[in-house]
Amino acid sequence: MPLAVHKKQYAVRELPVRHQSILEYAHFRWLKGALLLSVACAAVYIWHDPPLKPYGGTWLGYTLGTIGALLILWLVWFGVRKRRYATRVGTAQGWLSAHVYLGTALLVVATLHTGFELGWNVHTLAYVLMCLVVFSGFYGVYIYATVPHLMTANRGEDTLDGMLMRVADLDKEIREKALSLPDQILKVVNSSLDGTRIGGSFLRVYSGRDPSCPTAKAVRELPEIGKRLSGDIAKLNHEVYTLLLQKNEILLRARRDIRYKARLDLWLYFHVPLSIALLASLSVHVVSVFLYW
Protein backbone atom coordinates (compact mmCIF):
# COMPACT_ATOMS: atom_id res chain seq x y z
CA MET A 1 0.00 0.00 0.00
CA PRO A 2 2.63 2.58 0.90
CA LEU A 3 4.17 1.91 -2.44
CA ALA A 4 0.94 2.73 -4.24
CA VAL A 5 0.61 5.98 -2.36
CA HIS A 6 4.16 6.79 -3.18
CA LYS A 7 3.54 6.12 -6.83
CA LYS A 8 0.46 8.24 -6.93
CA GLN A 9 2.13 11.10 -5.22
CA TYR A 10 4.92 11.24 -7.70
CA ALA A 11 2.99 10.25 -10.78
CA VAL A 12 4.22 12.28 -13.67
CA ARG A 13 1.53 14.53 -15.01
CA GLU A 14 0.99 14.74 -18.68
CA LEU A 15 1.99 18.18 -19.67
CA PRO A 16 1.07 19.61 -23.03
CA VAL A 17 3.87 19.62 -25.52
CA ARG A 18 2.83 22.87 -27.09
CA HIS A 19 2.41 25.98 -24.95
CA GLN A 20 -1.18 26.12 -23.85
CA SER A 21 -2.86 29.32 -22.80
CA ILE A 22 -4.70 29.20 -19.49
CA LEU A 23 -7.73 30.31 -21.48
CA GLU A 24 -7.83 27.04 -23.41
CA TYR A 25 -6.90 24.86 -20.45
CA ALA A 26 -8.32 21.32 -20.68
CA HIS A 27 -10.17 22.05 -23.89
CA PHE A 28 -11.92 25.13 -22.49
CA ARG A 29 -13.30 23.16 -19.54
CA TRP A 30 -13.87 26.25 -17.41
CA LEU A 31 -15.18 28.34 -20.27
CA LYS A 32 -17.86 25.71 -20.72
CA GLY A 33 -18.52 25.59 -16.99
CA ALA A 34 -18.81 29.37 -16.75
CA LEU A 35 -21.08 29.54 -19.78
CA LEU A 36 -23.28 26.82 -18.33
CA LEU A 37 -23.54 28.65 -15.02
CA SER A 38 -24.31 31.99 -16.70
CA VAL A 39 -26.89 30.56 -19.08
CA ALA A 40 -28.56 28.57 -16.30
CA CYS A 41 -28.78 31.64 -14.06
CA ALA A 42 -30.10 33.79 -16.89
CA ALA A 43 -32.70 31.18 -17.83
CA VAL A 44 -34.00 30.89 -14.27
CA TYR A 45 -34.00 34.68 -14.00
CA ILE A 46 -36.16 35.00 -17.10
CA TRP A 47 -38.49 32.24 -15.96
CA HIS A 48 -38.75 33.59 -12.41
CA ASP A 49 -41.89 35.53 -11.50
CA PRO A 50 -41.04 37.70 -8.50
CA PRO A 51 -43.66 39.25 -6.16
CA LEU A 52 -42.95 42.78 -7.31
CA LYS A 53 -39.83 43.00 -9.41
CA PRO A 54 -36.61 41.04 -9.52
CA TYR A 55 -34.21 41.88 -6.71
CA GLY A 56 -31.86 40.25 -4.24
CA GLY A 57 -34.53 39.43 -1.71
CA THR A 58 -36.60 36.90 -3.64
CA TRP A 59 -35.78 33.20 -3.36
CA LEU A 60 -33.92 33.48 -6.66
CA GLY A 61 -32.21 36.63 -5.42
CA TYR A 62 -31.00 34.82 -2.31
CA THR A 63 -29.87 31.85 -4.42
CA LEU A 64 -27.94 34.00 -6.88
CA GLY A 65 -26.51 36.01 -3.97
CA THR A 66 -25.31 32.85 -2.25
CA ILE A 67 -23.72 31.55 -5.46
CA GLY A 68 -22.12 34.94 -6.04
CA ALA A 69 -20.77 35.24 -2.49
CA LEU A 70 -19.35 31.71 -2.55
CA LEU A 71 -17.78 32.43 -5.94
CA ILE A 72 -16.17 35.58 -4.57
CA LEU A 73 -14.76 33.72 -1.56
CA TRP A 74 -13.43 31.01 -3.83
CA LEU A 75 -11.96 33.53 -6.28
CA VAL A 76 -10.23 35.38 -3.46
CA TRP A 77 -8.90 32.04 -2.20
CA PHE A 78 -6.85 31.93 -5.42
CA GLY A 79 -4.49 34.38 -3.77
CA VAL A 80 -3.75 31.68 -1.18
CA ARG A 81 -3.82 28.74 -3.57
CA LYS A 82 -1.29 30.20 -5.96
CA ARG A 83 1.26 30.39 -3.16
CA ARG A 84 0.78 26.76 -2.16
CA TYR A 85 3.33 25.17 -4.41
CA ALA A 86 3.15 21.80 -2.69
CA THR A 87 -0.59 21.29 -2.97
CA ARG A 88 -1.90 18.66 -5.29
CA VAL A 89 -5.46 20.04 -5.53
CA GLY A 90 -5.63 20.72 -9.23
CA THR A 91 -2.89 22.39 -11.20
CA ALA A 92 -2.03 26.05 -10.83
CA GLN A 93 -2.89 26.42 -14.50
CA GLY A 94 -6.31 24.86 -13.98
CA TRP A 95 -7.00 27.07 -10.98
CA LEU A 96 -6.07 30.18 -12.90
CA SER A 97 -8.22 29.12 -15.85
CA ALA A 98 -11.16 28.54 -13.52
CA HIS A 99 -10.38 31.81 -11.72
CA VAL A 100 -10.63 33.74 -14.98
CA TYR A 101 -13.77 32.09 -16.34
CA LEU A 102 -15.72 31.81 -13.12
CA GLY A 103 -14.76 35.40 -12.32
CA THR A 104 -16.36 36.36 -15.61
CA ALA A 105 -19.45 34.29 -14.82
CA LEU A 106 -19.64 36.12 -11.48
CA LEU A 107 -20.39 39.26 -13.46
CA VAL A 108 -23.54 37.59 -14.79
CA VAL A 109 -24.55 36.01 -11.48
CA ALA A 110 -24.09 39.20 -9.47
CA THR A 111 -25.82 41.40 -12.04
CA LEU A 112 -28.84 39.12 -12.03
CA HIS A 113 -28.70 39.12 -8.22
CA THR A 114 -29.07 42.91 -8.23
CA GLY A 115 -32.12 42.70 -10.49
CA PHE A 116 -30.61 45.79 -12.14
CA GLU A 117 -31.45 47.82 -9.04
CA LEU A 118 -28.54 50.12 -8.29
CA GLY A 119 -28.22 53.14 -6.04
CA TRP A 120 -25.90 55.11 -3.79
CA ASN A 121 -25.53 52.48 -1.12
CA VAL A 122 -23.19 49.86 0.25
CA HIS A 123 -24.90 47.17 -1.80
CA THR A 124 -24.07 48.89 -5.05
CA LEU A 125 -20.62 49.66 -3.66
CA ALA A 126 -20.04 45.94 -3.38
CA TYR A 127 -21.32 45.46 -6.92
CA VAL A 128 -19.17 48.24 -8.34
CA LEU A 129 -16.08 46.97 -6.52
CA MET A 130 -16.80 43.51 -7.88
CA CYS A 131 -17.04 44.92 -11.40
CA LEU A 132 -13.77 46.81 -10.93
CA VAL A 133 -12.05 43.67 -9.68
CA VAL A 134 -13.37 41.62 -12.60
CA PHE A 135 -12.48 44.23 -15.19
CA SER A 136 -9.01 44.72 -13.71
CA GLY A 137 -8.77 40.95 -14.00
CA PHE A 138 -9.74 41.15 -17.67
CA TYR A 139 -6.97 43.68 -18.11
CA GLY A 140 -4.62 41.27 -16.35
CA VAL A 141 -5.61 38.49 -18.74
CA TYR A 142 -4.96 40.81 -21.65
CA ILE A 143 -1.58 41.78 -20.22
CA TYR A 144 -0.63 38.16 -19.60
CA ALA A 145 -1.71 37.25 -23.12
CA THR A 146 0.33 39.94 -24.85
CA VAL A 147 3.25 41.13 -22.75
CA PRO A 148 5.20 37.86 -22.28
CA HIS A 149 5.62 37.54 -26.09
CA LEU A 150 7.00 41.06 -26.25
CA MET A 151 9.16 40.39 -23.25
CA THR A 152 10.65 37.26 -24.80
CA ALA A 153 11.25 39.00 -28.11
CA ASN A 154 12.89 41.90 -26.34
CA ARG A 155 15.09 39.81 -24.07
CA GLY A 156 16.14 37.32 -26.68
CA GLU A 157 18.76 35.06 -25.21
CA ASP A 158 19.67 37.46 -22.48
CA THR A 159 18.51 37.96 -18.97
CA LEU A 160 18.01 41.30 -17.32
CA ASP A 161 20.96 40.58 -15.04
CA GLY A 162 23.12 39.74 -18.04
CA MET A 163 22.15 42.98 -19.75
CA LEU A 164 22.95 45.03 -16.68
CA MET A 165 26.25 43.28 -16.20
CA ARG A 166 27.16 43.94 -19.78
CA VAL A 167 26.38 47.60 -19.34
CA ALA A 168 28.63 47.65 -16.29
CA ASP A 169 31.27 45.82 -18.27
CA LEU A 170 30.96 48.25 -21.16
CA ASP A 171 31.29 51.07 -18.63
CA LYS A 172 34.63 49.70 -17.52
CA GLU A 173 35.86 49.27 -21.05
CA ILE A 174 34.69 52.74 -22.03
CA ARG A 175 36.28 54.29 -18.96
CA GLU A 176 39.65 52.78 -19.86
CA LYS A 177 39.50 53.82 -23.48
CA ALA A 178 38.07 57.28 -22.99
CA LEU A 179 40.91 58.40 -20.76
CA SER A 180 43.00 59.33 -23.79
CA LEU A 181 40.28 61.43 -25.38
CA PRO A 182 40.04 65.22 -25.20
CA ASP A 183 38.37 66.82 -22.19
CA GLN A 184 35.24 67.82 -24.07
CA ILE A 185 34.58 64.24 -25.11
CA LEU A 186 35.64 62.80 -21.78
CA LYS A 187 33.13 65.01 -20.05
CA VAL A 188 30.28 63.71 -22.19
CA VAL A 189 31.45 60.12 -21.80
CA ASN A 190 31.89 60.46 -18.05
CA SER A 191 28.40 61.83 -17.67
CA SER A 192 27.20 58.63 -19.30
CA LEU A 193 29.37 56.53 -17.01
CA ASP A 194 28.43 58.32 -13.82
CA GLY A 195 24.89 59.45 -14.49
CA THR A 196 23.19 56.65 -16.38
CA ARG A 197 20.55 55.01 -14.30
CA ILE A 198 17.84 52.49 -14.90
CA GLY A 199 14.58 52.27 -13.00
CA GLY A 200 14.57 53.91 -9.62
CA SER A 201 11.23 55.65 -9.81
CA PHE A 202 7.74 54.51 -10.71
CA LEU A 203 7.60 56.73 -13.78
CA ARG A 204 10.93 55.55 -15.15
CA VAL A 205 10.07 51.91 -14.43
CA TYR A 206 6.57 52.04 -15.87
CA SER A 207 7.35 54.21 -18.91
CA GLY A 208 10.55 52.32 -19.71
CA ARG A 209 12.09 55.63 -20.68
CA ASP A 210 14.55 58.09 -19.29
CA PRO A 211 14.30 61.32 -21.30
CA SER A 212 17.39 62.71 -19.62
CA CYS A 213 19.51 59.60 -20.10
CA PRO A 214 23.18 60.80 -20.36
CA THR A 215 24.14 57.82 -22.53
CA ALA A 216 21.55 58.71 -25.16
CA LYS A 217 22.78 62.27 -24.96
CA ALA A 218 26.39 61.15 -25.42
CA VAL A 219 25.43 59.03 -28.43
CA ARG A 220 23.73 62.07 -29.97
CA GLU A 221 26.60 64.47 -29.30
CA LEU A 222 29.72 62.41 -29.83
CA PRO A 223 29.70 62.24 -33.67
CA GLU A 224 29.46 66.03 -33.88
CA ILE A 225 32.36 66.61 -31.50
CA GLY A 226 34.36 63.77 -33.02
CA LYS A 227 34.37 65.39 -36.47
CA ARG A 228 37.17 67.64 -35.42
CA LEU A 229 39.45 64.75 -34.40
CA SER A 230 41.88 62.92 -36.58
CA GLY A 231 44.36 60.09 -36.51
CA ASP A 232 44.53 57.64 -33.59
CA ILE A 233 42.35 59.85 -31.43
CA ALA A 234 39.60 59.73 -34.04
CA LYS A 235 39.92 55.95 -34.18
CA LEU A 236 39.75 55.69 -30.42
CA ASN A 237 36.79 58.04 -30.38
CA HIS A 238 35.07 55.84 -32.88
CA GLU A 239 35.68 52.79 -30.70
CA VAL A 240 34.27 54.57 -27.66
CA TYR A 241 31.32 55.71 -29.72
CA THR A 242 30.67 52.13 -30.85
CA LEU A 243 30.74 50.97 -27.24
CA LEU A 244 28.40 53.76 -26.23
CA LEU A 245 26.06 52.71 -29.04
CA GLN A 246 26.09 49.18 -27.69
CA LYS A 247 25.49 50.43 -24.18
CA ASN A 248 22.63 52.62 -25.30
CA GLU A 249 21.04 49.75 -27.17
CA ILE A 250 21.29 47.45 -24.16
CA LEU A 251 19.87 50.18 -21.96
CA LEU A 252 16.88 50.58 -24.26
CA ARG A 253 16.21 46.88 -24.10
CA ALA A 254 16.74 46.67 -20.38
CA ARG A 255 14.38 49.58 -19.81
CA ARG A 256 11.81 47.96 -22.06
CA ASP A 257 12.23 44.78 -20.09
CA ILE A 258 11.54 46.38 -16.72
CA ARG A 259 8.63 48.20 -18.31
CA TYR A 260 7.13 44.90 -19.43
CA LYS A 261 7.71 43.43 -16.00
CA ALA A 262 6.00 46.44 -14.43
CA ARG A 263 3.04 46.04 -16.77
CA LEU A 264 2.80 42.41 -15.75
CA ASP A 265 2.73 43.48 -12.12
CA LEU A 266 0.89 46.77 -11.97
CA TRP A 267 -2.71 45.57 -12.53
CA LEU A 268 -2.36 43.35 -9.47
CA TYR A 269 -1.80 46.48 -7.39
CA PHE A 270 -5.44 47.30 -8.24
CA HIS A 271 -6.86 43.82 -8.55
CA VAL A 272 -5.74 42.65 -5.11
CA PRO A 273 -6.58 45.67 -2.91
CA LEU A 274 -9.94 46.04 -4.69
CA SER A 275 -10.64 42.38 -4.00
CA ILE A 276 -9.99 42.92 -0.32
CA ALA A 277 -12.22 46.02 -0.32
CA LEU A 278 -14.81 43.89 -2.10
CA LEU A 279 -14.58 41.31 0.68
CA ALA A 280 -15.27 44.05 3.21
CA SER A 281 -18.20 45.57 1.33
CA LEU A 282 -19.62 42.13 0.57
CA SER A 283 -19.59 41.32 4.27
CA VAL A 284 -21.23 44.64 5.10
CA HIS A 285 -23.79 44.06 2.35
CA VAL A 286 -24.75 40.63 3.67
CA VAL A 287 -24.82 41.62 7.34
CA SER A 288 -26.69 44.91 6.81
CA VAL A 289 -29.30 43.28 4.61
CA PHE A 290 -30.15 40.79 7.33
CA LEU A 291 -29.72 43.29 10.12
CA TYR A 292 -32.55 45.30 8.56
CA TRP A 293 -34.28 42.23 7.16
Partner 1 sequence: MKLLVITQSRNRAGRTVQVKKEVNADWIRVGRAASSEVLLADPRVALNQGLILDRDGPVYTEGEVGNLTSTTKRAVRSVRLKPGSAVDVGPYKITVLDTPEGYSGAITVELVRPREDVAPEFMSRANKLTLRSLHLPKRLVALALFAVVAVVFFLLPSGRVLDLPWKGEQSIAMASDRFWNPGPVMLAHQPIELKCEACHEVAFVQVRDESCLECHQKIGHHVGQDMKPAALFQGTRCAECHRDHKGVKTTHRDDDRFCVDCHKDVRGRANGAQSQNVSDFEKDHPAFRLSIPVDKGVKRVRMGSGPIEESSNLVFPHEVHLDPKGVRHPDKDKVKLDCAACHKPDASKRTFEPVTMQKHCQECHRLEFEPAVTKRQVPHGLPGDAITVVNEFYANLALNGVKDSFEKAFGVPGEGLLRRVGQPSEAQRQNALALAGKKASQVSEELFEVRVCRACHAILKEDGPDGKPVWNVAKIRANNIWMPHARFDHKSHSQSKCADCHDVAKSKRSQDVAMPKIESCRECHAGSQPSEKKITSNCLLCHGFHEQQHPWDPGFKPKGKTRVAQGASGDR
Query: In the range 70-99, which residues lie near partner 1 by CB under 8 A?
Result: none
Site for partner 1 in 102-121 (CB under 8 A): 117, 119-121
162 lines the binding site for partner 1 (CB under 8 A): yes
**Considering the complex, what minimum distance in angstroms separates the CB of residue 239 from partner 1?**
9
Q: d(Cα 74, Cα 67) in Å, to the nearest integer?
A: 10
Which residues 6+ apart lie within 8 Å of 31 measured at CB?
23, 101
Stretch near partner 1 under the rule CB under 8 A, chosen from 30-38, 88-96, 104-112, 162-170: 162-170
Residue of 125, 141, 213, 219 interacting with partner 1 (CB under 8 A): 125
194 lines the binding site for partner 1 (CB under 8 A): yes
For residues 238 and 226, the answer to whether their CB atoms sit within 8 Å is: yes
For residues 164 and 106, the answer to whether their CB atoms sit within 8 Å is: no
39 lines the binding site for partner 1 (CB under 8 A): no
Size of the site for partner 1 (CB under 8 A): 74
Q: d(Cα 53, Cα 60) in Å, to the nearest integer?
A: 12
Residue of 10, 116, 161, 232 interacting with partner 1 (CB under 8 A): 161
Give how far Cα 271 sits from Cα of 13, 47, 75, Å. Answer: 31, 34, 12
For residues 66 and 56, the answer to whether their CB atoms sit within 8 Å is: no
For residues 151 and 260, the answer to whether their CB atoms sit within 8 Å is: yes
Site for partner 1 in 141-160 (CB under 8 A): 155-160
Using the minimum distance from each CB to partner 1, give the nearer residue, 99 or 105: 99
Site for partner 1 in 259-278 (CB under 8 A): 261-262, 265-266, 268-269, 272-277
